[in-house]
Amino acid sequence: MTSIEPQFCDQGQQGRSTAPLSNRRQRGYLVCFEGIDGSGKSAAAESIFLQLRACGIPTIWPARNGADACPELAEIRLDAIGQMLWHYPPDCAIQRLGDKHLIHLLVSWFHLFDVCVLRPHLDANEIVLVDRWFYKYVARFALKPAFHGVDVETWFHGISTPDVVFSMALAPEIAWLRKAHIRKIESGIEGSASLDRKRNFIDYQTNVQKVLSLYQLRYHWQRIDSSRPLDQVSAEASTAILSGVADRFRETGCNQTFPDLAGHK
């Protein structure tokens, strides 16, 4: 492996909530979680969702295959693409299907999910939590020799820009202990001659993490130490979310106030 640095589009200075190739919105608040496999993205999103909803704050954590507001046709398509992408035996070497086949499925799923699931809730001025975004997959492809020098991120052009991205920081060694089942694709076994699944997982996730750290620095993601207890992780993220939403309201001249989360741990 000669390089793990992804190609970036030159779009000028990027701020905390401005990815270069996505749509900016004036309504709603999109929160995404990024990190290696096993870093606690889904657990944090679920905990924060329950906490904010308990406070009466309109918050959505849409399932991968759709949401209540999703049109039936879109839900059927999301489910069909999702089945091809994520529902297969752990030992299946899905990489053998071809990189371009897989990335086109990912691009198709994320665009459809954005248009038919995320945007209706954002247009309704809700907080939307997504427990993964496309950067983990971009990082995986950036590690493949065939994609060195290719700006994979441009394939996701037009997808909504998160208002905040939480970068879940966790040592791959701990992530290994948290994972009940390890897929071959999570261990990068495709390009490895080693049969040591644990070593493969740790080495591969370390490299994915290095690429994600480059995105974190470039786009000013908020780093969260996800090795801590879940209540501490969700409290830190929830506070940051409400602070960001409050800033948004102040920018638009709204006097909306939010409850104190201290009593809802």
What confidence tens digit (pLDDT) does each residue in 145-183 have?
888 888 889 999 999 999 999 999 999 999 999 988 888
- Confirm whether 82 is domain-assigned: yes
Tell me how far apart the alpha carbons of residues 39 and 34 are, in angstroms, rounded to a whole number. 9
Q: What is the pLDDT of residues 85-129, one digit of tens each?
A: 988 877 777 778 888 999 999 999 999 999 999 999 999 889 999
b/e burial code for range 190-202 (CB count within 10 A of at least 16 → b):
eeeeeeebeebbb
pLDDT of residue 19: 46
- Confirm whether 21 is domain-assigned: no
Quote the tokens at residue 15.
């701020």
pLDDT of residue 263: 46
7 pLDDT above the threshold of 80 = no
- Confirm whether 183 is domain-assigned: yes
> 158-162, 164-168, 196-200, 217-221: which has the minimum mean pLDDT?
196-200
- Confirm whether 186 is domain-assigned: yes
Tell me how far apart the alpha carbons of residues 225 and 56 are, in angstroms, rounded to a whole number. 27
Q: What is the CATH number of the domain that holds 34?
A: 3.40.50.300
pLDDT of residue 183: 82
18 pLDDT above the threshold of 60 = no
- Confirm whether 14 is domain-assigned: no
Q: What is the pLDDT of residues 47-83, one digit of tens each?
A: 999 999 998 999 999 865 445 557 788 889 999 999 9
Q: Which domain holds residue 219?
A: 29-255
- Confirm whether 23 is domain-assigned: no
Q: What is the pLDDT of residues 223-250, one digit of tens each?
A: 999 999 999 999 999 999 999 998 876 6
- Confirm whether 39 is domain-assigned: yes
- Confirm whether 12 is domain-assigned: no
Count of structural domains within the chain: 1
